[in-house]
Amino acid sequence: MIVTTSTPSRTRQIFGWVASSLLCFVFLGAGSAKLAGQPMMIEQFHSFGYSVWFMYLIGLIEAGCGVLVMIPRTSRIAAVGLGCVMIGATISLLLHGPQEKTVGPVVLLALSIAVYWLRGREGRNARPARA
């Protein structure tokens, strides 16, 4: 028996694109601030006990994944990358920073998980599968 996989619903596609756009906007801004070496970012990373090179690495990951999350073929891996960065940010804030600021990274982590789920079948054609 041959069963075809279904394409994502139109609503799921719209929510996937909206969530991806939000992540893109937020992380392009955050990554750019780190890559520009803004004094506030340097101060924050030093207060966590991290070196400046690590700030630049995180900025590169954020900006890169912010772009890749908009490409259907790379959106899921970018969402995983952003999720990992947000787990690190949450842990850093819980250990070193004001704990009330953990809400932002947790919300962005949830949004990354949503993008991973929503963009799951996007960009793939319906293919026959053996059941």
What residue ranges do the domains of the chain occupy? 2-130
Here the tokens at position 38 are 């803004």
**What single letter denotes the amino acid at residue 43?**
E
Of 28, 34, 109, give the one whose Cα is nearest residue 68.
Answer: 28
pLDDT average, residue stretch 78-86: 97
Q: What is the pLDDT of residues 39-64, one digit of tens each?
A: 999 999 999 999 999 999 999 999 99
pLDDT average, residue stretch 25-31: 97
The alpha carbons of the chain give a radius of gyration, in whole angstroms, of: 17
* CB-facing half-sphere around the CA of 23: CA atoms within 13 A: 38
| pLDDT for position 127 | 46
**What single letter denotes the amino acid at residue 22?**
L
23 contacts 111 by C-beta, under 8 angstroms: yes
Q: Using the predicted structure, report yes or no on whether residue 76 has a pLDDT greater than 70.
A: yes
Q: Using the predicted structure, report yes or no on whether residue 24 has a pLDDT greater than 90.
A: yes
C-alpha to C-alpha distance for 78 and 99, rounded to whole angstroms: 26
